[in-house]
Amino acid sequence: MIVDLLVEGFDSALLPCSFVVLVPGAAAVIAARQESTSAFFGFSIGLVALTFLRFSGRGGDLQTGFVALMLAVAVVLLAIPLVRRLNVVTGAGGLLVGAAAGVLWEPCVGIHFAELLNDLPTSRIVPGVALLAVYLIGVLAPVIALAAVLYLIPNPTLILARPVMLVIGCGTLAVLAVATAAGFSDDVISRLVELSVA
Amino acid sequence: MSRRQFLAVMIGLAAIGGLVAANLTDDDASPAALPAATSADAAPTTSVAEATPTPPDPLAAAPPVLGTAGDLVGLDGWLQTDATQFSDFDGSVRVVQFWTFSCSNCKNTLENLRGLYDEFEPRGLEVIGVHAPEFSFEEDPVAIAQAAVELGVRWPIALDTDKTNFRSWQTGRRFWPRTFVLDREGNIRFDRIGEGAYDELNATVAYLIENDSDRSS
């Protein structure tokens, strides 16, 4: 079951359905630059928590206005370490982005993830969260790779310099926040999918 | 986390990734080695044994009533049918599936659904594909109709372009695909998130068709 979920998660990372999770995740770790691991761990915790609440029917189906606010606050938190390195703040920013992604995500469901989702409302919390986390490790493989690359590059070049990355990452999140508030975040993700397919 | 610890974590993840990749390669190879039991236009990427239609034996007992189905409202229209509203199918056993044509997990369910449709449509089953597009390129009715032909979707398609029904039928927990079976009174007798549970789906339909056969004509 665990290996099957992980494999299916890896499979799903390549599907357009997962862009709603992958785009904000990538934007958060890009914005965080060398604190990318803090942003990633925060993102993962927020994503697992909110997806578990929603998919288990225990809550978490927040209004889009609130989700937009979470993204906007995250942009500010991720931008703070530009002037003062503070991993906790970056992690909190990542957590908010992950939580927002967890609310917006409407996944395509393969056979093993389906088994988990159909059992999730009646499952105990710890095993349910653990299995969901296993699946999401697979889905987030591209973000894990990106976070690792950003962390391991020792001397930022001009292109990878923090301010440039911050503008790309926070800019993407800000666009998502505005689009979510206006009710067309689907269209933004859709456009990104079309661009990536092209 | 020190750089050394971080590298250790990454090496661990890479090892897991390697194992998974090897597993993926094996999975990809196995369907090709099997007899041509699947159609070329919708070959499942998961286990062929899971996706191949099985002879539907009816359930021994009546499937439980899980709730009452709502209406399909605010549609952009219908494809492949003369129906203009969901109530045109009232009185029939119905399989209602929320899907979208670029969703690979949705495609993986179609082979079983085709088998079910071929078996039971002459006996009163209606299959209704509610097309709820995830992306804007999936909103074009011409593209949907073309995809339906390519995927072998021969049953009526309701166009839920703004996902009104996708959301109202799946409060809080929304997924592609989602498959419901409704009895003739409009009660939900089967509800499945995602792929799989084909035997249960088929048996539920078989039960509902066979146990209400006096009312189907």
**Phi and psi for A183 in degrees, rounded to 5?**
85, 15
Residues B91 and B155 in one domain: yes
Q: From residue A113, give the alpha-carbon distance in Å to each of A61, A110, A119.
A: 20, 5, 10
State the residue range of the domain holding A122: 2-197
DSSP A80: G
Whether residues B27 and B59 fall in one domain: no
Asked whether residue B72 is assigned to any structural domain, the reply reads: yes
Question: Which DSSP state fits A121?
Answer: G
The model carries a pTM of: 0.80
* Polymer length in residues for chain A: 198
CB < 8 Å to B19, chain A: 3
| Chain B: closest CA distance from residue A22 (Å) | 15
- Domain extent, residue B64, equals 48-215
The distance of A55 to chain B (nearest Cα, Å) reads 5
Q: Give the residues across from B68 on adjacent strands.
A: B187
Q: What is the CATH number of the domain that holds B124?
A: 3.40.30.10
What is the per-residue pLDDT across A123-176, written as a single tens digit (0 to 9) for each?
899 999 999 999 999 999 999 999 888 888 766 555 566 778 888 999 999 999
User: Is residue B9 domain-shared with residue B57, that is, in the same domain?
Assistant: no
Number of domains in chain A: 1
Nearest one of B77, B98, B101 to B169, comparing CA atoms: B98
- Does a structural domain hold residue B115? yes
Look at A55 and B16 and tell me if their CB atoms are within 8 Å: no
CB pairs below 8 Å between A and B: how many?
107
Are B176 and A107 in contact by the 8 Å Cβ rule? The answer is yes
- Are B22 and B127 within one domain? no
Report yes or no on B157 lying in a domain.
Answer: yes
Between the CA atoms of A4, A5, A9 and A15, what dihedral angle is there, to the nearest 10 degrees?
A: 70
**pLDDT value, residue B116:** 95
Q: How far is B133 from chain A (nearest CA, A)?
A: 10
Q: Give residue-wise pLDDT tens across range B55-84.
A: 566 677 788 999 899 899 999 999 999 999
* CB pair distance less than 8 Å for A190 and B195: no
- Would residue B38 count as lying in a domain? no
Do residues B68 and B171 both lie within one domain? yes
Closest CA to B128 of B148, B142, B146: B148
Q: Determine the 3-state secondary structure of B99 from DSSP.
A: strand
Domain co-membership, B141 together with B91: yes
Per the structure, the count of domains in chain B is 2
CB neighbourhood size of B15 (10 A):
10
User: Considering the domain boundaries, does residue B42 fall inside one?
Assistant: no
The whole-number pLDDT of residue A153 equals 74
Is B22 buried (19+), middle (13-18) or exposed (0-12) by CB count in 10 A?
A: exposed
Is residue B62 located within the same domain as residue B164?
A: yes
ipTM of the complex: 0.80
User: Tens digits of per-residue pLDDT, B109-141?
Assistant: 999 999 999 999 999 999 999 999 988 888 999
A107 touches chain B (CB under 8 A): yes
**Tens of pLDDT along chain A (198 residues)?**
788 999 999 989 988 889 889 999 999 999 887 788 889 999 999 999 999 999 998 876 778 888 899 999 999 888 887 666 677 888 999 999 999 999 988 899 999 999 999 889 898 999 999 999 999 999 999 999 998 888 887 665 555 667 788 889 999 999 999 998 988 777 777 777 777 666
